[in-house]
Structure 1
Amino acid sequence: MSTSASRLAAALIACVAALSVVLRVWIVVSGVMAGGRSFLDGLVLVFSYFTIQTNAIVAVVAAACALPGRPDGFLARPQTLAAVTVYIVIVGVIYAVLLAGLRQLTGLAVIVDIGLHRVVPVLFTLYWLAFAPKGRLTWRDPLVWLIFPALYVVYSLIYGALTSRYLYPFANVPVLGYPRALGNAGLILLAFYILGLAIVTLDRIWARKSLSGA
């Protein structure tokens, strides 16, 4: 975690994620204000998306890993890196399977969209594979990692009820109704959990191979 290569890779990811988030914030807030709504309304809207929240977390975690010094802080812990890997992979998968092509984007928005949904997920996953310490995860960790997406589900439903803006089609309560929207949320949370278990499995296999190779 403290090698020059890992810090350089983390710095690159932090820059890509942060730039993608900043540009998306600028695009969304500018559009909201052009429609007569406030800057704060636009800011709340853009940061209500799980994609933006997760990419912002990636930027912060990667920036922490890029700094020289002690690599054992919370942001650089193996559990934190694995959790963020799960979150950003789900961002990429849900986009590819359910969301790609639903909106017609042009110009800079296309590049930003690719950065948020494709480039950052791939880069951070590769970072976890190459540089995260292995063999320290437990089978309980995937349950802990569910806290963030579960809280997001609650937040998104409250946000939608208060603003009548439902951010994702699979969570659109007026169209789907609460039973189906909650069912979709349950399936997505199950995907988070299954991917978490897969990460722990891979972590343990990787650690055993490293020990046998030594």
Structure 2
Amino acid sequence: MSNEMVLTQSTGGIAVKIAALLGWFALALQLYLILASRWQGDKSLLGGVDIFFSYFTVLTNILVAVVLTCAATSGDSAVRRFFLKPTVQGGVAAAIVLVGLAYNLLLRNTWNPQGLQWVADELLHDVMPVLFVIYWWFCVPKGTLQWRDLWPWLLYPLAYFIYALVRGYFVGSYPYPFIEVDKLGYPQVFINALMVLVAFVVISLVLIAVDRWRGQH
């Protein structure tokens, strides 16, 4: 193995470690901001944890951070093998791309975060999606994905949608404006969810097509 190749692999490994740390930092910052806001408002901190885990953005960024951590570390475990499967990493890539696109196209203009909240927002919705796509492009083996991989990937956003509706029914609060049943009603919410799901399908098919193309070159 040439010195240049060793240097390239070493640099790549450092970059993945930095990306993993950045992912966990963004999540920790967002959790801190939610809990600090709850504390200042004399509200339940446990409720703040519930709010934190109610966001598709947060759950998906956790998956991203876990995958990057597995890639940045060594050792052999069932969990690490699972998250480093190209099919699993492809599904996570599709989900985090959806996070970035949905936020920038649908949600960015609905509020104006400042200070540390702006930092957390940019990291979770812009920086981490870009970093993970770069990681997926350069570090994940290509040519193994099949068109049928789309179906298990769909389970994640579907499960989240069901969870968000059930949680919202009991607590009276929804994490995103386009699924606010109390304001929009179930028919419109289902239409909105279907549109987001279609976007996820398109993103997934593009990723699979790119994977298959790169696997042939």
TM-score for the superposition, normalised by structure 2: 0.91
CA RMSD of aligned residues (A): 1.6
- Aligned match of 1:164: 172
Determine whether 1:124 maps to 2:129.
Answer: no
Gaps of 5+ in 2: 1-8
* Aligned equivalents of 1:47, 1:81: Cα separation in 2: 21
The answer to whether 1:17 aligns with 2:23 is yes
Identity percentage over the alignment? 36
- Counterpart amino acid of residue 151 in structure 1: A
Matched, 1:194 2:175: no
State the distance in 2 between where 1:10 and 1:169 align.
Answer: 34
The alpha carbon displacement at 1:143 in A equals 1.1
Unpaired runs of 5+ residues, structure 1, are 210-214
SS of the equivalent of 1:73 reads helix
2:91 equivalent to 1:83? yes
What does 1:99-110 correspond to in 2, within 5 Å?
A: 99-110=107-118
TM, length-normalised to structure 1:
0.92
Alignment partner of 2:14 out of 8, 11, 20:
8
**Separation in 1 of the partners of 2:166 and 2:67?**
28
Cα contact 1:24–1:112 (8 A) shared by 2: yes
Give the aligned partner of residue 141 of structure 2.
133
Q: Contact 1:64–1:75 (CA<8 Å) still a contact in 2?
A: yes
Contact 1:33 1:42 in 2 (8 A): no
Letter in 2 for 1:160: G
Q: After TM superposition, give the deviation of residue 70 of structure 1 in Å.
A: 5.5
CA-to-partner distance for each residue in 1:15-56, whole Å, 9 max, x for gaps?
111100000000011112222221111001111101111111
- CA distance in 1 between partners of 2:185 and 2:149 (Å): 32
1:142 alignment partner, one of 134, 143, 150: 150
What amino acid maps onto 2:95 in structure 1?
Y
Is the 1:9–1:127 contact (alpha carbons within 8 Å) kept by the matching residues of 2? no
SS of structure 1 residue aligned to 2:110:
coil
**Structure 1 consecutive aligned stretches of length 4 or more whose deviation exceeds 6 Å:** none
CA contact (8 A) 1:86 1:196 kept: yes
Alignment of 1:64-79 (within 5 A): 64-69=70-75, 73-79=81-87
Correspondent of 1:43 among 24, 29, 49: 49
Aligned to 2:105: 97
